[in-house]
Amino acid sequence: MGKIKEIAGATDSKDLAKRFAENKVKEVKGDGSKQATMNGRILPITDFKKVIEHDKIYLGTLQSLQANLSLYERLLAQKLTPIKNDDDKRYKRAKEFVEWDEVKIKLYDVRGMIETHNKLINDKLFHFENIAKKQFDKECEEMKDGEFEKVFETASSIANNLVELNLSEDCKTIKSEIKDELYWYSQLEDEHKNDMEYKLYLFKAIRRLSNAFNDKLEQNKA
């Protein structure tokens, strides 16, 4: 239980839920042409701390419920233990004995939920630190030394090429997908355009699509 108390420590602040609500990200919305934009969407790396805060709020609520159930169970025990071996009194107060048992069952259930949720938080923390963050940092390295700008320029060149008469249907489809990727990035708020996670989303997509477009062009020439 030590680890649970350690994690739950961050939930002691009464304004934690309020702060999480204020930082809550928005849903992905479309613009007037019904094209999706990415402003305010949940990002696995950037928003990880917000997600964990939310998990801690839930864990803290479970712990509060556990404490209240434990207190209530003790109160019922004090009233009913002295008469639990008296069949006549048990019969007259059967509902209270049923309630006592139900509270004990619920208490066991909540304890199990606390252990499960605590493990979930620890698993998320482990995965973030040892897998997700390392993979993110590795992929960000690929955008350095002007590589992002190079890939962006290539994709923009494909998207802005007005000569489509000789393009195959496959190439036209890929070109349309490139335009969609460049569009959502163009609609980002200025503060997000330099965010590494947004840039990585774009970089991976347009690099893949640009390579696929050029491969199809070469195939069509053969």
Digit-coded pLDDT (tens) for 149-191: 999 999 999 998 865 657 888 999 999 999 999 999 998 988 8
Mean pLDDT calculated for residue range 112-141? 96
d(CA 37, CA 195): 15
The yes-or-no verdict on residue 32 having pLDDT over 60 is no
Nearest to 16 by CA among 51, 43, 54: 54
CA dihedral (155, 160, 164, 168) in degrees, to 10, reads 10
Per-residue pLDDT, 23: 45
Per-residue pLDDT, 219: 85
Average pLDDT of the chain?
85
For the record, the structure tokens of 194 come out as 């330099």
Q: How many CB atoms lie within 10 A of CB 203?
A: 22
Q: How many CB atoms lie within 10 A of CB 114?
A: 18
Q: How many residues does the chain have?
A: 222
Q: How many CB atoms lie within 10 A of CB 136?
A: 17
Burial readout 146-173 (b: 16 or more C-beta within 10 A, e: otherwise)? eebeebbebbeebbeeeeeeebeeebee
For the record, the structure tokens of 99 come out as 């309630």
Question: Hey, which residues does 36 pair with through a beta bridge?
Answer: 30
> With contact defined as beta carbons under 8 Å apart, do 91 and 98 qualify?
no
Kindly report the pTM of this predicted structure: 0.69
d(CA 18, CA 25): 14
The amino acid sitting at 119 is K
pLDDT bracket for residue 21 (50, 70, 90): very low
> With contact defined as beta carbons under 8 Å apart, do 200 and 147 qualify?
no
Q: Domain-by-domain residue ranges, the chain?
A: 2-30+43-138, 147-221
pLDDT bracket for residue 221 (50, 70, 90): confident
Question: Hey, which residues does 30 pair with through a beta bridge?
Answer: 36
The amino acid sitting at 37 is T
Angle between helices 196-221 and 169-186 (to 10 degrees): 160
**Tens-digit pLDDT profile for residues 48-105:** 999 999 999 999 999 999 999 999 999 999 999 999 999 999 999 999 999 999 999 9
For the record, the structure tokens of 121 come out as 């938080």
